[in-house]
C-alpha cells in the first residue's frame, strides 16, 4: 500500500505494533481495549461499523482466528481489511511488516521485527548456560487451561522448559494430574483479559501437589501477539534466572512520527 493510511485497529495487538513502530499517528480509531487515546469503535468482537465508517479509514486491522467473522463482515461492508493470525513467536514477528505495510510503511515493521529478534538473541546468550526450570503457564483458571500458541516459545526464549504444549498449538484444558506430574518449578498466571489480576493465593488454595514459585503477570505480556511479548520474555527471564547477566528490558526504538495523518 503506497503512502500513509488511515487505520482503524480492531485488534489491540495491531495497535501495539503500530505504536511501537512509530506509526501511532496513522491510527484514527481503535476498540475500547486500546492503550492509545483514539475514538472508540466498540469491542474486539462487536465493533460499531457505523462509527468506523464515520472515521473514513483506508484499512481495518484484525487479528486471530476469533476475529475471522469480524474481518469477513468488514469486507462484506466494503472495508479493506488486513487480517493476521500468528500462532508462534516467529509468526508474530512476521506480522509486524504486514501490519505496518497496511499503514503505509512496511520498512518500519521490518525494522521493529529485526530489533525484537536482536533482543531475543541477547536474552538467549544470557541464559544459554543456565539450567532450564520447568514452567506451567495458565491462561484461564476455571477450567485450568495451559497456554499455547506462542507462549511455549516465550517460555523457552526466557530460559525455561514447557512440557505442556508445542508452540503453535491452541491453549487447552489441563488436568491437575498433568501439572503435578510435570513438577513445575514456576507457575505463571496470566488469565486472558484480566490484566495483572491473576491470583496466586487462589492457585495455592487448590492444594495441588506442586512445589513452585507462583507469579501473576499482566496477561498482555503473554497473550497479545505484539511487541508486548518482549516484556513477557524479559519478565520471565528475571523470574527464572535472577542471577543471569540479562540485557536491559526491551523498549521500542525511538522513532519520530512523520505527522502524516
Question: Residue 233: which H helix or E strand, with range?
Answer: helix 228-240
The mean pLDDT of the chain is 94
Q: Which residues of 1-36 are buried (b: 16+ CB within 10 A; e: fewer)?
A: eeebbbbbbbbbbbbbbbbbbbbbbbbbbbbebbee
Q: Where are the alpha helices (DSSP H) in 37-129?
A: 49-54, 68-76, 89-102, 106-127
Mean pLDDT across 14-34: 96
- Condensed to tens digits (0 to 9), the pLDDT of residues 111-170 reads 999 999 999 999 999 999 999 999 999 999 999 999 999 999 999 999 999 999 999 999
**CA contacts within 13 A on the Cβ side of 197:** 4
All structural domains of the chain, each given as residue ranges with its CATH number in brackets, are 7-122 (3.40.50.1980), 135-240 (3.40.50.1980)
Q: Kindly report the CA angle at 92 between 13 and 78, in degrees rounded to 5?
A: 55
Cell of 178: 498433568
Q: Dihedral through CA 70, CA 71, CA 74, CA 80, nearest 10?
A: 160
Longest dimension (CA), the chain: 58
pTM for this entry: 0.93
Pair 225, 168: CB distance under 8 Å: no
pLDDT band at 4 (very low <50, low <70, confident <90, very high): confident
For range 46-61, the mean pLDDT: 97
Which whole number is the average pLDDT over 241-250?
Answer: 97
pLDDT digits (tens, 9 = 90+) for 168-210: 999 999 999 999 999 999 999 999 876 556 789 999 999 999 9
Amino acid at each position: 500500500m503506497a503512502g500513509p493510511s488511515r487505520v482503524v485497529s480492531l485488534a489491540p495487538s495491531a495497535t501495539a505494533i503500530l505504536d511501537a513502530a512509530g506509526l501511532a499517528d496513522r491510527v484514527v480509531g481503535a476498540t475500547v481495549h486500546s492503550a492509545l487515546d483514539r475514538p472508540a469503535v466498540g469491542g474486539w468482537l462487536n465493533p460499531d461499523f457505523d462509527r468506523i465508517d464515520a472515521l473514513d479509514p483506508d484499512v481495518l486491522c484484525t487479528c486471530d482466528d476469533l476475529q475471522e467473522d469480524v474481518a469477513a463482515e468488514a469486507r462484506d461492508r466494503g472495508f479493506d481489511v488486513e487480517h493476521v493470525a500468528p500462532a508462534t513467536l516467529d509468526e508474530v514477528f512476521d506480522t509486524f511488516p504486514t501490519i505496518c505495510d497496511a499503514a503505509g510503511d512496511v520498512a518500519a515493521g521490518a525494522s521493529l521485527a529485526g530489533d525484537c529478534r536482536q533482543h531475543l538473541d541477547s536474552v538467549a546468550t544470557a541464559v544459554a548456560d543456565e539450567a532450564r526450570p520447568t514452567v506451567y503457564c495458565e491462561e484461564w483458571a476455571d477450567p485450568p487451561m495451559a497456554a499455547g500458541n506462542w507462549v511455549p516459545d516465550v517460555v523457552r526464549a526466557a530460559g525455561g522448559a514447557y512440557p505442556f504444549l508445542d508452540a503453535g498449538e491452541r491453549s487447552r484444558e489441563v488436568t491437575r494430574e498433568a501439572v503435578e506430574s510435570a513438577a513445575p518449578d514456576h507457575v505463571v498466571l496470566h488469565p486472558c483479559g484480566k490484566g495483572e489480576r491473576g491470583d496466586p493465593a487462589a492457585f495455592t488454595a487448590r492444594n495441588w501437589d506442586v512445589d513452585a514459585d507462583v507469579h501473576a503477570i499482566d496477561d498482555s505480556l503473554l497473550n497479545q501477539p505484539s511487541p508486548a511479548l518482549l516484556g513477557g520474555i524479559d519478565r520471565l527471564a528475571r523470574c527464572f534466572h535472577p542471577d543471569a547477566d540479562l540485557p536491559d528490558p526491551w523498549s521500542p526504538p525511538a522513532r519520530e512520527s512523520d505527522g502524516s495523518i
